[in-house]
Homo-oligomer: A and B are copies of this chain.
Amino acid sequence: MKKKKKTTASTLVGKIAPEVLSFTAGKDALLDHVLIEPDCIGTAAHVTMLAEVSDVLSRVEVGKIIGELVSIMRRSRSGKFKIALRDQDVHLAVEKALSKALGATGRKVHTARSRNDQVALDLRLYAREEILCAITEATTLVDVLLAFARKNAAVPMVGRTHMQPAMPSSVGVWASAHAESLIDDLSLLRGAYTYCGKSPLGSAAGYGVPMPVDRERTARLLGFDAAHWNVLAAANSRGKTESVVLSAMEQVMLSLSRLAEDLVVYCAPEFGYFVLPPGYCTGSSIMPQKANPDVPELVRARASSVAACCVAVNGVVAGLPGGYSRDLQETKEPFLNGVSITRSCLGVLGSLVAGLHVDKEALRAGFTPGVFAADAALRLVAKGVPFRDAYRQVKADPPGTAGVSPDQVVASRRVPGGPCDPDIGAMRDASKEASRFARRERKRYHNSVSRLLGVRYPDLA
């Protein structure tokens, strides 16, 4: 193999062979677009603090920098600020824009920081907003499921195990069970939000700087609970943070995938319990009759995609030596993807369930005699037969079901959490509380940013 002369690209921080630049920074130049605003906001906090604790920047300079950062954010929104491959990433792109606009003042902004703490910060700010949005979307889906459950509380539905008919149940139980699963996931999303509550800003390359930077101050400016205690812990939190957020998203997707599977199965004509809303099925290119449940199928499959995002991140983090390694860059794409997939699945299922048609006759038709066998055994128990004997008796001699009505059986199950009283009120309260939490936290963050930038955020007006 002949070595050929290569022109190397020159960036703010050194010279890199073009194919190496493309190999190392290729995807960042694309992926980092969603990080432009967090990067600008973080820089605003950093320079604000810097002016307070040192002479490196004057207040006037800080004003100019923040003005320019807001301008970059606006240009980014209108598609006029792009990250070029030769900039490597959002951090150098923003620093270059500042240097171009402000000269020496711009070349000062990287004082006491490193791209390592910048990207950790940007991802954390991004993660915090996304988690809050996901909580809001999950509570919307919960509310839709609970409304659906209440409306169909007494509609009989065969309860199944092993996909086989098992015992009498109702559409209300089915829908509110999926709601409760999501409510449980909300606590995990909030746990992830808490995990993201420490600011890594000021840890620089993971070892701090010989300057009196005030990490608690920038943490407060950005709405964090606190700064990391230890600078190296801040660096080591990169990767793990992505993993923790994705794990919570994965749990949401696991819940959604089971709802999706139920929808796929129950929309098959052999069941026919549900009919998807018009516009939510897609056709076949060869079979004119087709109306396929593509949306639930994709939700089901995307649970695997998000799970794979976790695997990707965890594989990178496991066994990595302490401090930043470039490997961590590979956590960015699965992190952004996994979060975005989860949010879109929450959104689309909300609309889908809201428009779901229930075929009551098909649901009633699903009640085969065996569905009532356990009830029969328990009636014998009520007469004093030990359960295991009653079980054997019913197994040997299944009772007839003449005159048994699914509707009556379901209506008679008045136990808490049962068909006609799925504990919807408590669930709705839980959902509301989570929804309020998300709204309040976003408001708090937006207020912090507005104060920091001196313009209203997020509208930048």
Contact of A285 among B8, B92, B99, B284 (CB under 8 A): B92
Contact of A237 among B181, B188, B355 (CB under 8 A): B181
Q: List 15 A-B contacts (CB under 8 A).
A: A1-B143, A1-B147, A1-B354, A6-B279, A17-B279, A19-B348, A20-B279, A109-B387, A180-B230, A187-B191, A204-B286, A261-B319, A261-B320, A289-B394, A298-B326
Contact B212–A415 (Cβ < 8 Å): yes
Contact A167–B205 (Cβ < 8 Å): yes
Contact A229–B304 (Cβ < 8 Å): no
18 additional A-B residue pairs with CB within 8 Å, beyond A163-B268, A180-B228: A13-B282, A16-B282, A104-B386, A107-B386, A112-B387, A160-B321, A162-B323, A162-B326, A174-B232, A174-B322, A177-B232, A210-B413, A215-B416, A229-B423, A240-B254, A247-B251, A289-B394, A301-B329
Contact B298–A307 (Cβ < 8 Å): no
Contact A354–B3 (Cβ < 8 Å): yes
Q: Considering only CB atoms, which chain B residue lies closest to A104 in the complex?
A: B386
Contact A13–B284 (Cβ < 8 Å): yes
Counting every copy of the chain, the complex holds 4
Contact B258–A320 (Cβ < 8 Å): yes
Q: What string of 1s and 0s marks CB contacts (under 8 Å) between A207-233 and chain B?
A: 111111101100000000001111111
- Is A32 among interface residues, defined by CB-CB distance under 8 A? no
* Residues A353-385 near B (CB distance < 8 A): 354-355, 366, 368-371, 373-378, 381-382
Contact B116–A287 (Cβ < 8 Å): no
- A52 — which chain B residues lie within 8 A by C-beta? none
Could you say which of A177, A366, A394 has the most chain B C-beta atoms within 10 Å of its C-beta? A177
Q: Which of A67-75, A121-129, A308-316, A443-451 contacts B (4 or more CB under 8 A)?
A: A308-316
